[in-house]
Amino acid sequence: MSEHAGRARFAAIIEADEKVEPRDWMPDEYRANLIRQMAQHAHSEVIGMQPEANWITRAPTLMRKAILIAKVQDEAGHGLYLYSAAETLGVSRDELQEMLHSGRQKYSSIFNYPTLSWADVGAIGWLVDGAAIVNQIVLQGTSYGPYSRAMVKICKEESFHARQGYSIMMALVEGSDEQKAMAQDAIDRWWWPALMMFGPHDAESSHSERSMAWKIKRIKNDDLRQMFVDQTVPQAHYLGLTIPDPDLEFDEETGHWRIGEIDWDEFWRTIKGDGPLNRERIAHKVKAWEDGRWVREAATEYARKQRARLGKSA
3-state secondary structure of 189: helix
By the rule CB under 8 A, 163 interacts with other proteins: no
Instruction: Give the total of residues touching other proteins (CB under 8 A).
Output: 49
Residues ≥6 apart with Cβ < 8 Å to 197: 108, 109, 110, 128, 131, 132, 135
Taking Cα atoms as reference points, which of 286, 262, 275, 271 lies closest to residue 113?
275
Tally of CA atoms within 13 A in the half-sphere of 288 that contains its CB? 12
262 SS3 class: coil
Calpha distance 122→129 (Å, rounded): 10
State how far Cα 48 lies from the chain centre: 7
Q: How far is the CB of 53 from Fe ion (least distance, A)?
A: 13
Q: Please say which residue, 129 or 245, places its beta carbon nearer to Fe ion.
A: 129
Q: Per-residue x/- mask for other proteins, residues 165 to 204, rule CB under 8 A?
A: ---x--xx-xxx-xx-------------------------
Q: What distances in angstroms separate CA 26 from CA 22, 75, 210, one per listed residue?
A: 9, 30, 14
Residues in the chain: 314
Taking CB under 5 A as the criterion, the residue among 19, 43, 64, 161 binding Fe ion is 161
What is the CA angle 268-272-276, rounded to 5? 85
Within positions 34 to 53, which residues make up the interface with Fe ion, using CB under 5 A?
A: 45
Residue 309 burial by Cβ neighbours in a 10 Å radius (0-12, 13-18, 19+) = exposed
Return the residue of 78, 106, 225, 285 that touches Fe ion, per CB under 5 A.
78
Residue 23 Cα to chain centre, angstroms: 27
Of 103, 102, 69, 98, nearest to 83 by C-alpha is 98
Number of residues that bind Fe ion (CB under 5 A): 6
- Which of the choices other proteins, Fe ion, none does residue 129 contact, using the CB cut-off of 5 to 8 A by kind? Fe ion
CB 96 within 8 A of CB 86: yes
Using the rule CB under 8 A, give the single segment among 164-172, 185-193, 210-218, 244-252 that binds other proteins: 164-172
Question: Which among 198, 82, 211, 90 is positioned nearest to 149, based on CA atoms?
Answer: 82
Regarding 298 and contact with other proteins (CB under 8 A), the answer is: yes
Q: Is 114 in the site for other proteins (CB under 8 A)?
A: no
CB of 94 to other proteins, least distance (A): 10
Closest approach of Cβ 249 to other proteins, in Å? 34
Shortest distance, position 201 Cβ to other proteins, whole Å: 33
Candidates 52, 120, 129, 245: give the one binding Fe ion (CB under 5 A): 129
Residue 81 binding result from other proteins, Fe ion, none, given CB thresholds of 5 to 8 Å by partner type: none
Among 1, 5, 152, 299, binds other proteins (CB under 8 A): 299
> Of residues 49-68, which lie at the interface with other proteins (CB under 8 A)?
49-50, 53, 56-66
Residues that bind other proteins (CB under 8 A): 46, 49-50, 53, 56-66, 69-70, 72-73, 76-77, 79-80, 83, 118, 168, 171-172, 174-176, 178-179, 284, 287-289, 291-299, 301-302, 305
